[in-house]
Amino acid sequence: MSIQAAPVLSFMRKVVSGELGYSMATPWIPGANGVGVVETVADDVVGIQRGQRVFIDPHIHTHTNTDTYDGILIGLTALSPHSAPLQQQWRHGTFAQKALIPAECLTMVPDDLSDPERLSILSFAAIAYGGLVKGGFRSGQTLIVSGATGNIGSCAVLVGLALGAKRVVALGREEGVLERVRALDPKRVKAVRLTGDFEADKQSVAAITGGADLVYDILGNVPSFEPTAAAIYALRRGGAAVLMGGVQAAMNLPYSYIMLNEISIQGAFMYPRSAPRELLNMVAAGTLDLSKPEIRSFPLGGVVAALNHAESVRGPSYTVLVP
């Protein structure tokens, strides 16, 4: 297919440099998502036609009847010690003019959606949507987004609003970025700047939330569980927390608190295969507004500048390669 737009992850420079230690089969073309136009279809593929615009999802694993997981994120990393054969077959990603992508990773884009650069940031929204679906989030509920100043966290705010949240409470440390997140919907989005003082943060989040239904945690590589715990303590009885981030610490919560308050805590990875289609339908219906995020585009020859820019921006600001 011909790639029209490929979003750049905030940590992709560190992936490419090897700083994060991701598992990659080389030689390798990075790029984990994108929007493109189908140019050629294999003989055994049905339901996909030349000329169709598609959203590209990087998550794939074999479907043999086994308990062994061998998933990969195409153009990013292996996910299991068993992933090498699949990664050898599908190693190259979307930072290219052309890409070869498995049919199961493609979602047709409706004809009336014609902005590939904006549609490409659905890659962040899909991860957030997967977490909210996992947590059973429903219209009229209150959502806490822990890590709201990151690319995925900001999209979680947008997705929560699109799903009919009564209130979205955005948590983060950077006041200026939080203000930009709050501006996505000043009426329904409330922001809490975390200070690093656990007791003070716990009280601040609880005071502004009034009992949340769901915590969506998408904090990055941080060494403490305390910001996540501060959010979980603000849940109503029977509330839930979904963990999708990169916190490098053990959970430290009282057993009795979880039990007596019937709190559900669960992990989630990526999203259902149906998520891109459902999000595209929300964009087409006007409930998911992609016009508010800032997007800066770079040509393929400016990939180094794009990697540096993606690493430097925060909140609802996104970097896209346009080959």
Q: What's the CATH number where 313 sits?
A: 3.90.180.10
Q: Does 154 share its domain with 50?
A: no
Confidence of residue 273 (pLDDT cuts 50, 70, 90): very high
Q: Give the pLDDT confidence score for residue 65 in this predicted structure.
A: 77
Residues 177 and 305 placed together within one structural domain of the fold:
no
| pLDDT on residue 67 | 86
Does 181 score more than 90 pLDDT? yes
Task: Single out the residue of 147, 96, 106, 115 nearest to residue 289, CA to CA.
Answer: 115
Distance CA 43, CA 171 (A): 49
Instruction: With cut-offs at 50, 70 and 90, classify the pLDDT of residue 113.
Output: very high
Instruction: Please tell me the distance from the alpha carbon of residue 170 to that of residue 200, in angstroms, as a whole number.
Output: 16
Comparing CA positions, the residue from 164, 161, 152 lying closest to residue 123 is 152
Q: How many domains does the chain have?
A: 2
Instruction: Please answer whether residues 279 and 122 qualify as being in contact, where contact means their C-beta atoms are separated by less than 8 angstroms.
Output: yes
Q: How confident is the model at residue 147 (pLDDT cuts 50, 70, 90)?
A: very high
Average pLDDT over residues 22-47: 95
Mean pLDDT value across residues 254-277: 98
pLDDT given for residue 301 in this prediction: 97
Q: What is the mean pLDDT of the chain?
A: 97
- The residue-averaged pLDDT of 239-255 equals 97
Tokens of 180: 């930009």
Question: Does 46 fall in a domain?
Answer: yes
Rounded mean pLDDT, 222-226: 96
**Predicted local confidence at residue 64, as pLDDT:** 86
Instruction: Summarize pLDDT for 41-85 with one digit per residue, the tens.
Output: 999 999 999 999 999 999 999 988 788 999 999 999 999 999 999
pLDDT at residue 84, as a whole number? 95
Residue at 176: amino acid letter? G
The full DSSP string for 245-312 is: S---S-----HHHHHHTT-EEEE--S--TTHHHHHHHHHHHTSS--SSSEEEEEEGGGHHHHHHHHHH
Q: What is the CATH number of the domain that holds 227?
A: 3.40.50.720
117-146 pLDDT, tens digit each? 999 999 999 999 999 999 999 999 999 999
Query: Does residue 283 sit within a domain?
Result: no
Q: Which residues contact 112 (CB under 8 A, 6 or more apart)?
A: 284
| Separation between Cα atoms, residue 170 and residue 140, nearest integer Å | 17
In a domain, 11, yes or no: yes
Please check whether residue 274 lies inside any domain of the structure: no
Full domain range(s) for residue 218: 124-267
Give pLDDT, residue 66.
Answer: 81
Give domain status of residue 61, yes or no.
yes
Question: With contact defined as beta carbons under 8 Å apart, do 286 and 117 qualify?
Answer: no
Residue 279 placed within a domain: no
